Amino acid sequence: MLQNKKIICLIPARGGSKGIKLKNLKRIKKKSLLQASIDFAKKLNFLDNIVVSSENKKIINIAKNNKCEVYLRNKYLSRDFASDYEIIKSLLDNNKYRNYDYILYLQPTSPIRYKKNFIEALKSLIKKKAD
């Protein structure tokens, strides 16, 4: 929780990439892109929940081993052209995930992140009462 706002982190990690097979499991500096995203999310002590969205068994096991919740993607959301909007909307359509004020969307394929930037951005959103 940050400034009394409930925040969920959603990490989208599809297994079936056409370009690079299992790209979310590719390693940079001895960590998979997925693991780096999970580790970063865990450092953000204001998060109320970390959820990994996937259809892939290996990715699901990594998420579970890291004590993250798993949001199982259906076949439609596992296709090549599923949009970020569709993935987020699907999560929010689930009653279990409706009671959050903000969503932090951490794409594993964008691994360069700084905690300070996320905190500043979220504080700014909260201050402006942005959706």
31-65, pLDDT tens digit by residue?
Answer: 999 999 999 999 999 999 999 999 999 999 999 99
- 15 pLDDT band (50/70/90 cuts)? confident
For residue 21, pLDDT over 90 is answered with no
The set of residues, in sequence order, having a beta carbon less than 8 Å from that of 66 and lying 6+ positions away, is 35, 38, 42
Please give the residue that has the higher pLDDT: either 85 or 19: 85
- 12 pLDDT band (50/70/90 cuts)? very high
Domain 7-127: give its CATH code.
3.90.550.10
Q: What is the mean pLDDT of the chain?
A: 93
Task: Look at residue 38 in the predicted model and tell me its pLDDT.
Answer: 98
Q: Which residue in 34, 47, 29, 54 sits closest to 101, CA to CA?
A: 47
For 76-99, write each residue's pLDDT tens digit: 888 888 899 999 999 999 999 989
Q: Which residue in 34, 28, 79 sits closest to 52, CA to CA?
A: 34
The set of residues, in sequence order, having a beta carbon less than 8 Å from that of 15 and lying 6+ positions away, is 22, 24, 54, 55, 56, 57, 58, 59, 78
Please give the residue that has the higher pLDDT: either 74 or 57: 57
For 99-115, write each residue's pLDDT tens digit: 999 999 999 999 999 99
